[in-house]
Amino acid sequence: MIYLDSNATTQVHPRVVEAMMPFLTGRWHNPSSGYAAGREVKAALGTARAQVAALIGASPDEIVFTGCGTESNSMVIKSLAREIGRKSSKVVVSEIEHSAVLRPTEAMAAVGFEVARVGVHDDGRLDLAELSAAVERTKPGFVSLMWANNETGVIQPMAEATEIAKAAGWWVHTDAIQAVGKISVRVDEVPVDFLSISGHKFHAPKGVGALFIRKGTPFEPMIRGGGQEGGHRSGTENVPYIVGLGEAAAIMMESAQNGDLDRVATLRDRLETGLGERLKRVEFNGSREHRTGNVAHVSFPGKTAAELLPKLDAAGIQCSAGSACMTGKGMPSHVQKAMGFSDEKAFSSLRLSLSIFTTEAEVDEAIEIIAAVAGG
Ligand code: PLP
């Protein structure tokens, strides 16, 4: 099988497995235990924290380990809801957020919070003029805006958006789950208050994430108990997975430095060029300039993703029509609708997403298979 669904999840890197193994076997002690074995496990948590912090330009004490990206998002949104209060406050998100931001903010709206959604241009980039108009200085509030979109890979103008929100004295959260490990995401350059990370999008296992909380930012924990993670997220730490997340962060830093991420972007471009040459009717969507190097979002006019996906699966290609969580829901993607796509175009689109494991041979084979299936 040729795996072109790396925005849904990624293969766990062998180096990550290797780093995790000792903590599933001999080094199973509780990191809060006072004896030497416990202290050694705690030190491993510290290493992982430093590795994740280094990837985004944070300090280690600004990193909280969580159970997944969804949890990181919910933790922030709940804490900020409490911080701004329900009366005469405001929350602004974009129309293209993941359900892990849309559903919690819908829940806020259901209990009386004012929640506004800001649109995007047809290239999938946030409409900053609309954002400026939505952020009201007279109200306490926060924005929750994704750094890169999961369906299109389009990179959002986070620096500008953060400046707009900060100028109004608002808090800023970014769901950077599809950006971290793919492009440079630095909290020492863009002054967001909170940033969500998910391990399985960059070769750590599913079920581990992190949350950056800028030093000095008020935070109300969602899970209380033994006071682990600086009291921000109680519960005995999932040591093997956290160690794996740290190792994956280190691998992604190396991949940025050794040209591996550039190689992925070259392969993505090769895939698009090949499909463009072989198919008469094909469209590539989203900003050309501002996108992560691993995603091609492609429409096949006259075809539907629903008919293409099983044929591609049978022919050896795993990819998707949008986010994995929306698969099978029979609705046009809210991201594509926000970009102004007709239902017909939205239903004819596929997301092909690569990773550092994708090879040139796989891309060349994928071009032939997709062209045969979509051109037939
Ligand atoms: N936010 C975005 C943009 C995502 O792509 C995903 C992944 O599906 C999530 C949140 C949820 O992350 P997790 O699967 O770790 O809960």
Per-residue pLDDT tens over the stretch 150-192: 999 999 999 999 999 999 999 999 999 999 999 999 999 999 9
| Residue 239: alpha-carbon gap to chain centroid | 22
- Residue 258 is predicted with a pLDDT of 98
Per the annotation, the verdict on 325 as an active-site residue is yes
Global pTM? 0.97
Query: Could you tell me how many residues make up the chain?
Result: 376
Say if CB 118 and CB 91 are below 8 A apart: no
Say if CB 160 and CB 128 are below 8 A apart: yes
Please give the Cα distance from 64 to 40 (Å, whole number).
Answer: 19
Sign of CA dihedral 166, 149, 94, 206: negative
Per-residue pLDDT tens over the stretch 245-295: 999 999 999 999 999 999 999 999 999 999 999 999 999 999 999 999 999
Q: What angle do CA 316, 5, 94 make, to 5 degrees?
A: 150
Find where tokens 């890197």 sit.
13
Residue 207, by phi and psi: left (phi above 0), alpha (psi -120 to 50) or beta? left
Distance (angstroms) between ligand 1 centre and the Cα of 198 equals 7
Atom of ligand 1 lying closest to residue 71 CA: 16
Atom of ligand 1 lying closest to residue 8 CA: 8
Residues of the chain with pLDDT under 50: none
Distance (angstroms) between ligand 1 centre and the Cα of 46 equals 25
Please give the Cα distance from 235 to 203 (Å, whole number).
Answer: 24
Ligand 1 site, residue 77, Cβ cutoff 6 A: no
- Residue 330 is predicted with a pLDDT of 75
Residue 375 burial class via C-beta count within 10 angstroms: exposed 0-12, middle 13-18, buried 19 and up: middle
